Structure 1
Amino acid sequence: MTTATHRLEHDLLGDKEVPTTAYYGVHTLRALENFPITGITIAVYPDLVRALAQIKRAAAQANCELGLLERERMNAIVAACDELVAGRLHDQFVVDVIQGGAGTSTNMNANEVIANRALEIMGHARGEYGFLHPNEHVNMSQSTNDVYPTALKLATYVGIFRLVDAMAYLRAAFERKAEEFADVLKMGRTQLQDAVPMTLGQEFSTYATMLGEDEERLKEAALLIREINLGATAIGTGINAHPDYAGLVCRRLAEITGIPVVTAPNLIEATQDCGSFIQLSGVLKRVAAKLSKVCNDLRLLSSGPRAGFCEINLPPRQAGSSIMPGKVNPVIPEVVNQIAFEVIGNDMTVTFAAEAGQLQLNAFEPIIAHSLFKSVLHLTKGCVVLADRCVDGITANRDALRASVERSIGIVTALNPYIGYAHATDVAAEAHASGRGVAEIVLERGLMTAEALAEVLRPEVLTRPRALPVRPAGA
């Protein structure tokens, strides 16, 4: 029965009125009532919606090739799925990102939207499921338990490489600064104490290298994400699926997505094991922790502008205080720090959710999905913001950096091979007590000539390995 505003749909719990304007159906409507948790719908993750549509398209094609689904229905399902991949009807994916049921509500939402759009394509009204049914036809040879984790893997795979691109973009920004600052001498520090000289370029090249390493770790994690359990159906035994379905649907999915997915060798294991999600989450945590460390450095090196390190200047982006005029805060590194804190927390959530699986299924994949998608998305945006709004505009306080080297006691380390550890220790102690410079004391004591000292203290000598003099025994 259909009225001007609602149509009547039926499920195992009974009848329910669904808005006539809705492409979703009764199962989705019940999920809306049951899970008013975050107010965030799965539509916020368009990669997931597209992945679900790609899976349903591949399944329809495979089932048609196997003689299980009529071509007219297959064509209508394929056309509806193509529209979803193109970005249409995403507003109809309305279930909450956090939901009970191991993702069943998400799968039902996809089945119903695709079925009702396919019905329109076939010339029927929404809800006329006698012609094409969400579960009988759109979900043929499938279960939530193989569709949902496969969709999660497809969506995260796309997100991983989007993040890799963003990290490469940020890495390039650090590489440009490393080249710009290659001649800027400064003091390196360990445990916040003066250590030995280095260049600001060396410091920034380190940040670029750290990012490059993790780009490779993410690509390695993506290799595990390619393994899917589509064709497993309920628990991995393949019940209600044709013997050739798993291999065929995997090939069709690879063609549709361009992702080199492979069928897991043991579908029962693959249906319950969340190890690849733990692995990916751990790599995301690694990226986050290292990015946060870099941002800690940027905040510390730019601290001041008068009473801090004041070695570099971050580009001013907004007023820093409602009470202190002229104050400017390092807001871009701060927001990336907060992204990192979130990602580290998300990793803990993924770990607990993966551990909590029981027997042949993990019921907590929705929170795994939500956590991974947030981590990937926010890290991606954070990398771009950090590059554009911070790193590209960093300048060096060259004079202050040079002066800090000249007055630092740490340069005495470079003199060890020439004057010996005992003399170097005495010089350091006097410099610290008197406030005088190391070079001045060395010359005063006649430990080195002015020419020899100047040679040793050249920036290019101080900041890289070099051949050392052979000192006689006892000298």
Structure 2
Amino acid sequence: MTASSRTEHDLLGDRDVPTDAYWGVHTLRATENFPITGTPISTYPHLIDALAAVKEAAALANGELGLLEPAKAAVIVAACQEIRGGELHDQFVVDVIQGGAGTSTNMNANEVIANRALELLGHTRGEYRHLHPNEDVNLGQSTNDVYPTAVRIATVFAARGLLDAMAVLQTAFADKAAEFHDVLKMGRTQLQDAVPMTLGQEFSAFAVMLDEDRSRLAEALGLIHEINLGATAIGTGLNAAAGYAEAARRHLADITSLPLVTAPDLVEATQDCGAFVQMSGVLKRIAVKLSKTCNDLRLLSSGPRAGLGEINLPPVQAGSSIMPGKVNPVIPEVVNQVAFEVIGNDITITMAAEGGQLQLNAFEPVILHSLSKSITHLRAACLTLAERCVRGITANTDMLRATVENSIGLVTALNPHIGYTAATDIAKEALATGRGVAELVLERGLLPAGQLTALLRPEVIAGTGPVRT
């Protein structure tokens, strides 16, 4: 051992650990064994906070049951509270994807908490005879109940941020719906002219889709509040004292302010990842619909002169290194790409959940990584789309109105008043000659000018209000 390192011992022997590190030998081996993504678990602060909350709850429960000395319980709790306050996150260094069902993550937490607690007791890091990562910090626990519980808590808090971001985007679309409530345009089915509608109705649909998905996400979150803390290795509660599971759950609920419940069957809960599959499915649903919305925004703004050109997205950067004046729909494009990633993450989560064997699923690290990416990237995408795109959208009102007046789809709105046969003849002539539907209706005397004007009012033709003559 040199002045810049300390010697720690584990199952495989002795290793030198940097003196200033709060992590220990188990974490050291994990950093060597899993150079996979280059993404340490500290990238996901919700996970670090959740791990500290679980360890704090365990210390309180063990202290309450007389299993942990009061002085040890107090310093473990204090260390956990410091971590939940943002301290020592840089000491959580193991790669987010790891073998061992999350054991490296659990041991990283045990070692950091133990070494900070030792300092609070007046000892030096690594002096585990005074307070041990396994015997004290991990008392009554297993990776197999600590890690899934922490992942669930982290997922809840991350998803709350996504819910808030979706609400921001929903409001942005709803505001545009109100702004465009009387802007008449042609609706399209299969990219062909269909019937008139308002641009407000189109944007209102975007807002409603988000509102529906926020409800589905909240429902999926309800399942995530069921935890298996107290299950220990496989759900039998081996090495956890009587009353520990309920005491730990109660303290964890108080610490997190979450309505946590202990799973009714801990053996089932320790091996089942169904709640994560359902959560990922909802995230995929959000991604698919959000991507469809962005496809529509890109299509509606295509041009500006050789496309639809119905709306204008706010220009945020030059679009080409070779074509002067070109501006691209880069914000919808980046949201599309986030959606593609989320859909891929769903496949990863599906396969990881399916790959579990017997009493434990060893693949929750990749589930955590994939869920976290999906949630955090969707949150950022929603906020970016709202702030950098939707709020700045403008409508080409005159062009939209002219398109309606020139479209043969307009005749569908007049069908009940002039009859199907006459409407068909009008449509054929308008298509063949390029003349307007309203012009031909008046020319043939099929409707009085006043009635035709009333029927073509936006609130009537788009079904948003009564006929006024």
Fold shared by both chains (TM-score > 0.5): yes
SS in 1 for 2:193: strand
Report if aligned partners of 2:271, 2:360 keep a CA contact under 8 Å in 1. Answer: yes
- 1:49, CA displacement in angstroms? 0.2
The question of 1:241 aligning with 2:240 is answered yes
Match of 2:141 in 1: 142
Q: 1:467–1:117: structure 2 CA closer, same or farther, 3 Å change rule?
A: closer
In 2, distance between residues paired with 1:92 and 1:466?
62
Match of 1:472 in 2: none
- 1:452, CA displacement in angstroms? 2.0
Q: Where in structure 2 are there 5+ consecutive unaligned residues?
A: none
The question of 1:403 aligning with 2:402 is answered yes
Report if aligned partners of 2:459, 2:466 keep a CA contact under 8 Å in 1. Answer: no
In 1, distance between residues paired with 2:454 and 2:222?
52
SS in 2 for 1:251: helix
Match of 1:473 in 2: none
SS in 2 for 1:94: coil
1:63-82 paired onto structure 2 within 5 Å: 63-82=62-81
Q: 1:339-386, CA deviations, whole angstroms, 9 ceiling, x for partnerless residues?
A: 000001001100000000000000000000000000000011111111
Q: Where in structure 1 are there 5+ consecutive unaligned residues?
A: 469-475
Structure 1 range deviating more: 457-466 or 137-146: 457-466
1:124-203 paired onto structure 2 within 5 Å: 124-203=123-202
1:317-336 paired onto structure 2 within 5 Å: 317-336=316-335
- 1:445, CA displacement in angstroms? 2.1
In 2, distance between residues paired with 1:255 and 1:459?
55
In 2, distance between residues paired with 1:307 and 1:313?
14
- 1:90, CA displacement in angstroms? 0.6
1:246-257 paired onto structure 2 within 5 Å: 246-257=245-256
In 2, distance between residues paired with 1:451 and 1:54?
71
In 1, distance between residues paired with 2:226 and 2:288?
27
Match of 2:286 in 1: 287
Match of 2:360 in 1: 361
In 2, distance between residues paired with 1:344 and 1:209?
22
- 1:53, CA displacement in angstroms? 0.2
1:306-321 paired onto structure 2 within 5 Å: 306-321=305-320
What CA RMSD, in Å, does the superposition of the two structures yield over aligned residues? Answer: 1.0
In 2, distance between residues paired with 1:411 and 1:232?
66
Q: 1:205–1:466: structure 2 CA closer, same or farther, 3 Å change rule?
A: closer
In 2, distance between residues paired with 1:43 and 1:440?
68
In 2, distance between residues paired with 1:83 and 1:465?
57
Report if aligned partners of 2:338, 2:377 keep a CA contact under 8 Å in 1. Answer: yes
Match of 2:208 in 1: 209
Letter in 2 for 1:192: L
In 1, distance between residues paired with 2:451 and 2:20?
86
The question of 1:88 aligning with 2:87 is answered yes
SS in 1 for 2:409: helix
Alignment length, in residue pairs?
467
Match of 2:98 in 1: 99
Letter in 2 for 1:6: S
Q: 1:115–1:453: structure 2 CA closer, same or farther, 3 Å change rule?
A: same
Q: 1:57-85, CA deviations, whole angstroms, 9 ceiling, x for partnerless residues?
A: 00000001111000010011001101100
SS in 2 for 1:409: coil
- 1:458, CA displacement in angstroms? 1.3
1:24-35 paired onto structure 2 within 5 Å: 24-35=23-34
Q: 1:181-204, CA deviations, whole angstroms, 9 ceiling, x for partnerless residues?
A: 111111111111111111111111
In 2, distance between residues paired with 1:306 and 1:63?
71
Identity of aligned residues (%): 71
In 2, distance between residues paired with 1:439 and 1:297?
29
- 1:419, CA displacement in angstroms? 1.3
In 1, distance between residues paired with 2:245 and 2:330?
50
- 1:425, CA displacement in angstroms? 1.3
Report if aligned partners of 2:458, 2:464 keep a CA contact under 8 Å in 1. Answer: no
In 2, distance between residues paired with 1:197 and 1:243?
69
